[in-house]
């Protein structure tokens, strides 16, 4: 087993948002608007407005990459500064799968390091938990952050890095 953390993305080391993209509920006719940029501190800022109009209600950012072997890692470690709202962290083992493995996390409004147990990420599709095993933590091809709290709201999530640890 490898004892060192596996850095998935560190925004302060990356000057661009290559392979990151915003996906809003507009794909289903909704009117939510999310955006993402790198700020002067070298962190990603995901911000915008969630609208419930036209059956909307979510905004997300996604990062796709070549399949990564993550066997032996047990936790996702995310350093964020949120706005006191609840977000989802999501992983896909195959970016073409319809479902994601998800876990919610709360933000405090301050910088914090959040650790999520990978085996607690459960399969979900369009807000519904699926009758499948939890995340197998063997490989992954996509990570996402999503806000969908069933209400209209503005949001702002600043992200420093994402690592996997044991």
Domain range annotation of the chain: 6-165
Q: pLDDT per residue over 86-133, tens digit each?
A: 999 999 999 999 999 999 999 999 999 999 999 999 999 988 999 999
The alpha carbon dihedral of 65, 67, 71, 74 has a sign of positive
User: What length does the chain have?
Assistant: 166
Predicted local distance difference test score (pLDDT) of residue 3? 66
| Greatest CA separation for the chain | 48
CA angle at 68 for the pair 67 and 73, rounded to the nearest 5°: 145
CATH class of residue range 6-165: mainly beta
* Average pLDDT of the segment spanning 6-25: 83
The DSSP code for 150 is: S
Q: How far is CA 42 from the centre of its chain?
A: 18
Terminal C-alpha separation, the chain:
9
Is 80 exceeded by the pLDDT of residue 76? yes
Q: Is 150 left (phi over 0), alpha (psi -120 to 50) or beta?
A: left
Query: Are 117 and 75 contacting, i.e. CB atoms less than 8 angstroms apart?
Result: yes
Query: pLDDT over 90 for what percent of the chain?
Result: 86
Backbone angles phi, psi at 26, to 5 degrees: -55, -25
**Considering the entire predicted model, what is its pTM?**
0.93
Query: Are 24 and 59 contacting, i.e. CB atoms less than 8 angstroms apart?
Result: yes
Query: Are 152 and 85 contacting, i.e. CB atoms less than 8 angstroms apart?
Result: no
């Amino acid at each position: 087993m490898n004892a060192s953390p596996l850095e998935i993305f560190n925004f302060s080391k990356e000057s661009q948002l290559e392979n990151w993209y915003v996906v809003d509920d507009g794909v289903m006719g909704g009117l939510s608007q999310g955006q993402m940029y790198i700020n002067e501190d070298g962190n990603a800022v995901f911000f915008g407005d969630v609208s419930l109009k036209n059956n909307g209600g979510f905004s997300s950012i996604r990062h796709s990459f070549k399949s990564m072997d993550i066997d032996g890692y047990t936790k996702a470690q995310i350093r964020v500064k949120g706005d006191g709202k609840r977000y989802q962290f999501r992983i896909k083992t195959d970016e073409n799968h319809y479902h994601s493995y998800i876990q919610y996390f709360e933000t405090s409004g301050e910088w914090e390091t959040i650790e999520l147990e990978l085996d607690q990420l459960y399969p979900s599709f369009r807000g519904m938990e699926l009758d499948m095993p939890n995340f197998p933590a063997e490989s992954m091809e996509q990570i996402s952050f999503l806000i969908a709290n069933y209400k209209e709201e503005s949001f702002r999530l600043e992200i420093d890095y994402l690592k996997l640890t044991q």
